[in-house]
Amino acid sequence: MINPMPVNFEAEMPAISKKLEKAAGYLACEKIIIQNIKKHADNGCDDVNMEKYLKKVSTHIDSMVAANQDGADCINYRYAGGFLNILLKTPCWKNWVKTIET
C-alpha cells in the first residue's frame, strides 16, 4: 500500500547523522543514503513524498556542511550531500536505487 504521509524528517535525521559520522569513506556514505531510501520505499512511501523528503535531507546536509566546513566529520556530510544532489538530478534515480545491493 502506498503511504501518502510524508516521512518524519525530524525523527530520521538524527539517525542518518549518527551513521554518517561513523562512516568510513564515500561509498559507506552512499550506502547509508541508499539504505534509507530503500527503507522508506519498502514501507510504501510514495514517490512524491520520497522526493520531498530527500530534498529536505539534502538541504539539511548542505546547511551542516556550510556551518561546519572545518569540522573533522564534515567530509562525510559532503559525500552524502553530493551523492544526494546528483541522485536527485538523475532521471531514473528511483529505478537505479532499486537495483543496488546494500
Flag whether 82 is in a domain.
Answer: yes
Is residue 74 within 8 Å of residue 65, measured between CB atoms? yes
Mean pLDDT, range 88-92, rounded to an integer: 87
Query: Rounded mean pLDDT of the chain?
Result: 87
Flag whether 1 is in a domain.
Answer: no
DSSP 23: -
Q: How many domains does the chain have?
A: 1
Flag whether 87 is in a domain.
Answer: yes
Predicted pLDDT of residue 96: 82
Mean pLDDT, range 73-81, rounded to an integer: 89
The grid coordinates of residue 62 equal: 548542505
Flag whether 17 is in a domain.
Answer: yes
Global pTM?
Answer: 0.86
Q: Which domain holds residue 81?
A: 11-99
- Bridge partners of 3, per DSSP, are 45
Mean pLDDT, range 32-48, rounded to an integer: 89
Rounded CA gap, 64 and 75, in Å?
Answer: 11
Flag whether 4 is in a domain.
Answer: no
Q: Would you place residue 87 in the very low, low, confident or very high pLDDT band (cuts 50, 70, 90)?
A: very high
